[in-house]
Structure 1
Amino acid sequence: MKLFFKYKLDHVLFWFVTILFHCFLKSFTWTKAGPFHFVLEIILRNGLLAAVCYFNMLYLFPRFFKKGSYSFYIFSLMLCLVVYTALKNLHDTWLNGYVIGDVAKRNFFLNSYYNFSTALFYVAFTLALELSKRWYNQQQLLQKIQVEKLNTELQYLKAQMNPHFLFNSLNSIHFQIDKANTTARESLQKFSAMLRYQLYECNADTVPIEKEINYLQHYVDMQRLRKDNHYQINFNASATTGNFSIAPLLLLPFIENAFKYLSAHTDKPNYINIHINKTGNMFSFNIVNTKDATAPVYEEGGIGLKNVERRLELLYNGNHELYIDDNAETFSVQLNITLP
C-alpha cells in the first residue's frame, strides 16, 4: 500500500478509469468526426479537468481554505470552473455543431450545466479522495508516534529515580560546593531547573514560549562549559518572542544536533548561531553550526530529526515550514510556524 501511494499509482488508476469511461461515452466521435477529433476530445476534456482538480488540491485548498480565506477560496474555485466550462463549451460547439454538422448544437451555452456540474463533481471527488488519503496517512503516523512514545515512556520508567530523592540530592550537593565556586553552583542550579522542567512541566501539550526559551538557554549554557575559547556559541531570542505557547521540547533536537556535529577546526572558526524571533503571528527559529566536511549530519535513518519532523507534521500540519540545508562546512535549520 505504501508503494502504491508513494508512486502516485492511485492517481494513475483514477485517471485511467476516467479516460476509459470517457472514451466509451464519446466513441461515436470516432465514426462521425474521425480519430483526430476523438483523440482531441479525450485529451482536451481530461486535461482541463486534471488541471482544475490539481490546481484546487495543490494550491487553492491549502493556500486559502485551510488558512480561513473561505470567500476567496470559493471565488477562485468558481472562477476556475467557469473558465473550464467556457473552454469546454467552445470546443463542444465547434466539434458537434460544425465538425459533425449538428446545427442544433451550435449554441455556445447548450452544454453549460453539464460541463459545469461535471467539473464541480470531479473537483469535489478528487479533493475528497486526497483528504481521505492524507487522513489515513496521518492516522498511521500518529499511531507510529504513539508506539514510539509508549516505548520511550517505558524506558524512562525503567530507569527513573524517585524525583524527590533526586532533587534532595542535588540540593545537598549544591550546599556542599564551596560558596566561592559560583560557576559550579550556577551550573547545578541550571541543571536542576532543566530537570524539573522536563519532569513536571513538559506533560502538557503546549508550554509558554518563555519557559521553553529559558530551558534552551540553560541547555546552551551547560554545553558551553564543555567548550573552550575556540568555539563561538550565540543564543539570541528577540524581545518580541512571547505571549504564546508551543509544543514542549520541539526545538531541542535541533540544538542537540548542532552540538553533536559541531566542528573542531583549529585553523578556522567553530560556531553555533541560534536566533529565535516572532514577527506578527510568525514564529521563526534558526540555527546554524559549522561541521566537519566528512560528517553526515542529516541522514534518512536519523531518529532525532525525523521524530521532530513527524511531530511538526502532526502538530502544525499546513502551518509550518521546515528548511534543512546540509552543506560541506555548515548545517542550518530554519523553522517557521504560523501561530493561531
Structure 2
Amino acid sequence: MKANLFNINRKYFWMELGFIFFISFAISLISDLEYSVYEEHNIAKFSNDFGYRLVTESLELICYAIFYWGFLKVYVFRRSLIGVVLCSFAFVIFNRVFDKYVTNWVLIHSDLISLAFRKRALEELVNPRIFFTFNYPLISTIFPLTGLAFLVRSFTQDQDMKALKEQQLVSELNYLKTQLHPHFFFNTINNIYALALKQSTQTAPMVVRLGEMMRYILYEADQPTVSLSRELAFLSDYIEVEKIRYQQHIHIGFDVQGVRPEYRIEPLLLLPFIENAFKHGLEEEIQNGFVNIVICQTEEDLTLQVSNSKPQTVKAKESAGIGIKNVCKRLDILYPGRYQLKNNETPEMYEVALILPNA
C-alpha cells in the first residue's frame, strides 16, 4: 500500500479533519470551562480566555494537521514502527519550540488578545524557558492521532480488498466467457459440417446465421450486460440454426412471455441450457423428439424453462459439459444465493428451470 508525503484520502478527509479539530479546540475549551467553574468559581472568566484559545488552538490545529498527514499517517500506512516513534518524538520537540516562539509572536501581534495575555506572551518570547514533557502530548495528541491513522488504514485496506475481490470476479467471469466462445463455435461448426456432408441447401442460410451470432459474440458479448431484447435475438438465431439442422422430424418450440426489452442481463447466460437441450435431447433422436423453450418475466423474476425429450437409445451418461459448468460458476458469481436452478427428469423427458431475480 503506497503512502506518499501528505497522505490525504478524500474519502476520509472530513472525518480526520473533524477529529483533529476536536482535539485542537474542544478538549482545551472544555478544560478551560471546567477550570473556570471548579477552580476559580466564576464561569465568566472563561470568556476572558476565548480570544487567546482561538489563536493558540488554531495554530495547534495547523501543527497537528502537518504532523498527522505529513508524517504520522505516512509511517502508519508504511507499517514503520520506528518511523512512528521518531516522528512522534520529533513532534513533541517541534511543538514546544513552535509554541514558545511562533505562537507567542502571533499572540503579541493579535488584536483578539487582551493586553494582559499579550504582555505575558512578550515576556515568554523574550525570556523563553522550554521544558520538554512527553506524558501530556502522548495522551492528548499522539495516541489519539495514531489510533485515527490505524483506523483509516483499516478502512482503506477493507476497501482495497473489496475492490480486489471485485476485480478477481470480473477476471473470472471474462475467463469463463472466453472458454464458452470456442466451445459454442465448435458445436455450431460441427452442425454446418454435418449439413455440408449432406450437400444440404440449408448450409448457406446456416452460415449467414452463424455470422450474425459471431458478430454478437465478438462485438457485444464482452460487455458486462446487454439488453434482454438483444440476447433474445441471439437465442432466436441459434434456435433457427438448430431448426435447419434437424429439419421437420423434430419439434422445436420457442416462446417468450412478458419480457421487458430494456431489462439488462449478462450476455450468453441462458445459451448453455438451451444448447445442452439440443445436444443431449436430439442428437440420438430420429423421430418424435422435441425441445421446448419458454422465457417468461414477471415483476419479481426472469425464468428460463427448457425441456427436451430423452432418446430411446441413450449413450452412457456423460458428465456436465464445459458450458453448464461455466454457467453455474457465473451464476454463483453474479447472483450469489439469489438464483434458483431446478432439474426434473422422467423416463421420457428432461427439464431445467432457471429463475433469476429482476434486481
TM-score scaled by length of structure 1: 0.45
TM-score scaled by length of structure 2: 0.43
Higher CA-based Rg = 2
